[in-house]
Amino acid sequence: MIRKFIAHTSPGKSRIFALADGSPDCLEAVTSLGAEDLHLTDKLVLELNDFLATRNEAELAAVLDALPNPVRMAVNQFLAGRCAPQPGAFNLYGPLEVVREAYFGGVDDEFEEYVSGAYMIGLGIRITNEQREDGRVSWTIQLLSDEVMLPASAELRGWALPEAVKVARTWIGAEAERNVVHEALALADAAGRTGQWVRVHTVYQSDDEDLESSGGSTFVVDVFDAPIPLDDDDEDAATALFA
């Protein structure tokens, strides 16, 4: 995953790089600007990083239109090949990191208190249910460094849907009558008790296309027409056992 764009400027030339996740992380060359275009270096890097968060092509296109055709082609080719949309990976302030992961055996008062506290201080939240080989069901909560941010026109979703799985129902916080956290978790718990796979996440949606404008946070609950998946650790252990 491309996390960030940066530039190295020397007399007469700027080289644009992308910082990519890896073991270790690495830099990938994107393009170079000649002496006549050095003044556009900072603007290009700014719009490339904004593009990672917003997928808004208009501002980036305006900068690229002022650059030579080979630069435009190199940037567009890199974006097409290495920067596929990844909902929930970025917001306006950069990549979102998992800062804490917790596990609960069921949706109870302690579970709700944990989620409410994270929601109150503005952390991003992702929750899913998983099943162990012994049949026990648990809930995994990932807390992200910040909330996913969406413009007003975007679909209210900050977690990409899994492939080849149908959604039986999607519930959003606007449907809540009193307590959005309690009602989101109650729905998730009820669906989980019937053996359905459930995912819960939070998003922040602005009132217009400017992500820095006013807006609000809410919950999204997806109930899938699929059984609760096997815990990743159990699945890996089973694979190793029979390999």
CA nearest to 52, candidates 22, 91, 110, 100: 91
- The predicted structure's pLDDT at residue 239: 33
> Which residues, at least 6 apart from 134, have a Cβ–Cβ distance to it below 8 Å?
none
What is each CA distance from 147 to 36, 38, 74, 141, 232, in whole angstroms? Answer: 39, 34, 32, 14, 25
Cβ atoms of 127 and 187 closer than 8 Å: no
What end-to-end distance do the CA atoms of the chain give, in Å?
Answer: 29
Q: Cis link prior to 24 (omega < 30° from 0)?
A: yes
- The predicted structure's pLDDT at residue 88: 67
For 131, the token pair is: 């099943």
148 vs 124: CA distance, rounded Å: 7
For 94, the token pair is: 């950069």
Collect the ranges in the chain with pLDDT lower than 70: 23, 84-88, 232-243
